[in-house]
Amino acid sequence: MKHTVIIGGGFAGVNLARELARSAGHRITLIDKNNYNFFPPLIYQVAAGFMSPSDISYPFRKLFNRRPHARFRQGEVRRIDPAARRVYLQHGEGVDYDLLVIATGTRPNFFGNQEIERHAYAMKTLGDALAIRNNILARLEAACALPPAERAPYLHFVVAGGGASGVELTGILAEMRRDIFDKDYPELQGEHSRLTLITADPVLLPPMSQSAQRYTAAELHRLGADVICNDRVTGYDGHTVRLESGRSIAAKSLIWTAGVTARRTDGIPDECYTRGNRLRTDRQLRVIGLDNVYALGDCALVEGDPAYPNGHPQLGQVAKAQGLHLARALLRGSGEPFAYKHQGDMAIIGRLSAVADFPGGRSSHGILTWAVWVAVHILALVTFRNRLAAAYNWGIAFLTRNQTLRMIIRPTPPADAQNGRDG
């Protein structure tokens, strides 16, 4: 029985693992630094307190507890030895493989700016989302304790990045400001909190149609958000956001959604990587230059697809399709090349407001598009329990224009606790 090791439990890794786990002919080990799968498109809802982390996440061990040939291993991969077919984790332990699948996704890209990396909040993981939630609430509480003349930087939230993540977060923060801030923080009534979205691109949502871009800009303006295009954040010291144009913004909060990059792993030759640290693969998803090693999802760039000469977009739907394709290939022994059929792009802006571009050049926006967005994302959650919980909490928040997850919760482990091990 071949042993397949999968590094990363995102869209690609978890769909591959679930399919292979159904076969008695495959033994699999899934390795991830977290012990749960989560749904990245909805982490902005967690960041704003409209959803609980458990609504969009599920433990790997519970996912596999009825699959006797599937195992989960929590850990961070430090090195891969392709010659010995072994993966080494952070504490030095090794895991041998017959087939290796790298599906490690991406991390925030600060483009080498260490100052921004030190002081800005990323929005990539559930931990990031909770940190953003804590920060927003902490800034509001701090503003309540300050004289009015000193409150403005605490009440100014800046989002960098005009893609879907930046737009969706800005939209939901605008709704929080409208529906919640005055009600929960009577000390701040009459104060003018601000939201600013900054993008280096000339438009918001650059991959989408002009119709979607215009509608998005108009909706954010209606919600009271300031949008700055054709400018980029060049520095942030925790107090002042500095822009390439020379402009500066006094703000205690900068949330970074302006780019991603894949990670390099020791042991993988440099020639296997291409731009953005993505692994080069052929159309069978095999890493070029390595035997018995595959790469999927955002960390992979498939070469040779005439429909995508620059590689497939780094989207969840691409990653899921690649995971299912590789599962079929391994189970059936087929060498069919991977071909991706784009299903369209969507982004939610606010209550009853969303945009969508569909195949064939069709686009839509408004209430119906919002309803489709909600349905698509709830149905995409990994388990029925997640779908039910998300639908319930979302429904309550929608009907009441309120949510109850506005708690500042910070873990307080013992000082010598390290990664769940005593040492």
Which 3 state secondary structure label does DSSP give 110? coil
What residues does each domain of the chain span?
2-33+75-106+262-332, 114-258
Amino acid (one-letter) located at 9? G
User: Is the pLDDT at 60 greater than 80, yes or no?
Assistant: yes
- Give pLDDT tens digits for 103-157: 999 999 999 999 999 999 999 999 999 999 999 999 999 999 999 999 999 999 9
Give the burial class of 166: count Cβ atoms within 10 A of its Cβ; 0-12 exposed, 13-18 middle, 19 or more buried: buried
- Contact assessment for residue 56 and residue 382, using Cβ atoms and an 8 Å cutoff: no
- Contact assessment for residue 390 and residue 397, using Cβ atoms and an 8 Å cutoff: no
How large is the average pLDDT for residues 164-180?
92
Q: What pLDDT sits at residue 113?
A: 96
What percent of the chain has a predicted confidence (pLDDT) above 70?
A: 97
Rounded CA separation 271/283 (Å):
18
Tell me whether domains 2-33+75-106+262-332 and 114-258 share a fold: yes
Rounded CA separation 340/106 (Å):
20
> What is the sign, positive or negative, of the torsion defined by CA atoms of 400, 402, 257, 8?
negative
Token pair of 151 as six digits = 């409150």
Active-site pick, 93, 141, 168, 175 = 168
- Give pLDDT tens digits for 245-275: 999 999 999 999 999 999 999 999 999 999 9
Q: What is the three-state SS of 288-336? A: CCCCCEEECHHHEEECCCCCCCCCCCCCHHHHHHHHHHHHHHHHHCCCC
Domain range 2-33+75-106+262-332, CATH architecture: 3-Layer(bba) Sandwich (3.50)
Token pair of 44 as six digits = 């902005």
User: Is the pLDDT at 421 greater than 60, yes or no?
Assistant: no
For the chain, how big is the Rg over CA atoms in Å?
A: 22
DSSP label at residue 95: E
Residue 219 known to be catalytic: no
The half-sphere exposure of 311 on its side-chain side, counting CA atoms within 13 A, is 21
User: Is the pLDDT at 35 greater than 70, yes or no?
Assistant: yes
User: Is the pLDDT at 403 greater than 80, yes or no?
Assistant: no
Rounded CA separation 102/77 (Å):
10
Rounded CA separation 48/393 (Å):
13
The DSSP element (H or E) to which 43 belongs, if any, is helix 43-47
Domain 114-258 fold is: FAD/NAD(P)-binding domain (3.50.50)
